[in-house]
Amino acid sequence: MNRRQFLTAAALTGLASACGSTPATDPAAFRTQLRVPPLLEPSRGEDGTLAFALTMQRGRSALLPGEPVETWGFNGPYLGPTIRASRGDKVRMTVTNRLAETSTVHWHGMRLPAGMDGGPHQPIEPGATWSPHWTVDQPATTSWYHPHPHGATARHVYRGLAGMFIVDDGPAELPSRYGVDDIPLILQDKVLDPAPDPLKGTFGILGDHMLVNGTYRGLLNVRTERVRFRVLNGSNARRYHLTFADGRSFHVVGGDAGPLAAPVEVDRVSLTPGERVEVVVSFTGGEQVLLRTVSGSDDIDEGDFDLVKIVAAPRLAASPPLPGRLAGAPAPVVVPPQATVRRFRLNGHDAINGQEMDMSRIDEVVPAGAVEIWEVENTVYAHNFHIHEVAFQVLDVDGAKPEKWAAGHKDTVYVPPKSTVRLAVQFGKFTDPGTPYMYHCHLLRHEDSGMMGQFVIVEPGTENQVPRTIPLHHHT
Ligand code: C2O
Ligand code: CU
C-alpha cells in the first residue's frame, strides 16, 4: 500500500484519529491568556512566622464558553493563590470560611502534626477561622491544598477550592521565577452541567472540557529557553497521560514529595488525581506547541484532549543548564529487615479491607519515624492511593519496578485494576494518639463514599495503649 492509499484507508477506518496524530482542536482556538494563580503575600510576624490568609468564598466564573456559573475559590471566585515557603520557615495559615457550609482545608503533601493537617477532623464552620501553624521541614516540593470534609470533598474541590503550595529548599538550580520560568499547571476536567452530581456513576465526574489553572483553551507565552512546569492533577477522577503534540521529550525533575536524584528524560508522564510532577521543557525561539493528554486503557483516562498552547517568544532568554544531579533530593527510603507490612484491599468503590470509612475508628497505629511496607491491592475498578503526612517510594507494581521518573518520593500513587502496589512508607515524627491522619483513594467520589481509613502516629512502644475509637465532637 502506498502512502496515499494508506491515508485513505486510515480515514475510512478512523485510524488517523486513533493514532492521536490529529490535533483534537484547532490550535488557533487556544487564545485566552493562561491564568497563573497569584503568589500569596504573607505578612511576617515578630518571631519571623510567615502568616498566610485564605478565605473560602463563593463567586461566579465563566469557566467555559457561555453563562457564568457559581464557583468557589480561595480569595477569589475560583481556585486559590499559590503559597510559597522555604524549608525552615515557620508558617501560620488563617483560613476563614465564608461558605454557607462547613468545610476543611487539607495541606496535601505537607509533613505536619495531625491537628494541623486539615482533614475531616478539623472542620471550619461557616463564619469561623482556623489557624494551623507549623515549621516547614521537608524536601522541595510542589504540594497543594484543598477541602477535605468527609462526604463532600468531591463537591467542594470540583466547585474550585484548590491551590498550590510550593516548598523551596536550598539555592535554586532549576528555573524558579514564578510565572516567568516556573509555572504551575493545575489540570481539571469539567462537564457543561453547572452543578453535576460528583457522586454519580462509578468514578464521579469525568469531564470533556479541560481547564488549566481555570482557563479553557489557554495560551501561555514563554520567554526563556527552559521552563519548569509544576503540574498538579486537580481533577476529581481523570487520569492524564501528558505529551506534547510534536512528541518532544522533556525532563522530569521532581514528583509529589521531592526532587528526583537526577533529571529523567521522557516523552510522556501520567498523573492520577492528587499527583504532581515537575518537568523542565526546552523551547526554541518562535515555536509553538500544544500540551495534551492522550487516551489510555482505563475508564478514567478516556479521550484525547489538548490542554494548553505554549508560544515561545522569537528571542528566548538564556536558562541555566539542567544539572546532572539534583541537589536536595531526599535519600532513598530504606526498609528495615523486620519492617511491619500492612495490607489494604480496595473493595469496589467504597471500602478498604471490607470497611467503609468511620470517623470514630482508628484503623492503624504507627510508631513515629517508622518505615513500613504498605501493600495496596486493587480488585475491580481503577483507583489511586494517597497517604497523609508521609513520603513513600513505590517498590513495585505487580512485581515490576516503577518507571524511573515515578520512582522518587511520592504521596499518591496509581493502583491499576487487579494489581498490587507495594510502597516503602516513611512516617513522620509528630505523635498524637487522639488525632488521625487519612489514607484513601484520591478519586474523590470514592473517597467520599468511604474508601478511606485513619491512622495515628504514636510514641514507639505505646502502640497497644492507644484507644481504637475516638470521640467525635461536632462533626457532620
Ligand atoms: Cu489530597 Cu486526603 O487528600
Ligand atoms: Cu478509587
pLDDT in tens, 319-332: 999 999 999 999 99
Q: pTM for the full model?
A: 0.94
Cβ(440) to ligand 1 under 6 A? yes
Best CA proximity match to 237, nearest among 213, 217, 257, 208? 208
Average model confidence (pLDDT) for the chain? 94
Report the amino acid identity of residue 345.
R
Whether residue 5 is predicted with pLDDT greater than 50 in this model: the reply is no
The percent of residues above 70 in pLDDT, for the chain, comes to: 94
Residue 106 CB–ligand 1 contact under 6 Å: yes
Q: Which DSSP category does 82 fall into?
A: B
The residue to which cell 529557553 is assigned: 225
**Each residue's pLDDT tens digit, 304-314:** 999 999 999 99
Mean pLDDT of 279-292: 98
Ordered domains of the chain (ranges, CATH): 43-168 (2.60.40.420), 173-317 (2.60.40.420), 341-460 (2.60.40.420)
- Integer-rounded Cα radius of gyration of the chain: 22
Determine which helix (DSSP H) or strand (DSSP E) holds 358, and give its type and residue range. Answer: none
Ligand 2 center from residue 415 Cα (angstroms): 9
Pairing between β-strand 240-244 and β-strand 288-293 as defined by DSSP bridges? antiparallel
Closest ligand 1 atom to the C-alpha of 144? 1
Q: Hey, how many other C-beta atoms are within 10 angstroms of the C-beta on 472?
A: 12
For ligand 1, atom 3, the nearest C-alpha belongs to: 108
Mean pLDDT of 80-99: 98
**Of the listed ranges 31-45, 303-317, 420-434, 462-476, the one predicted with least confidence:** 462-476
Is the beta carbon of 349 within 6 A of some atom in ligand 1?
Answer: no
pLDDT, one tens digit per residue, over 374-406 is: 999 999 999 999 999 999 999 999 999 999 999
Q: What Å distances lie between residue 283 and 159, 228, 316, CA to CA?
A: 34, 11, 8
Burial of 368 (0-12, 13-18, 19+ CB in 10 A): middle
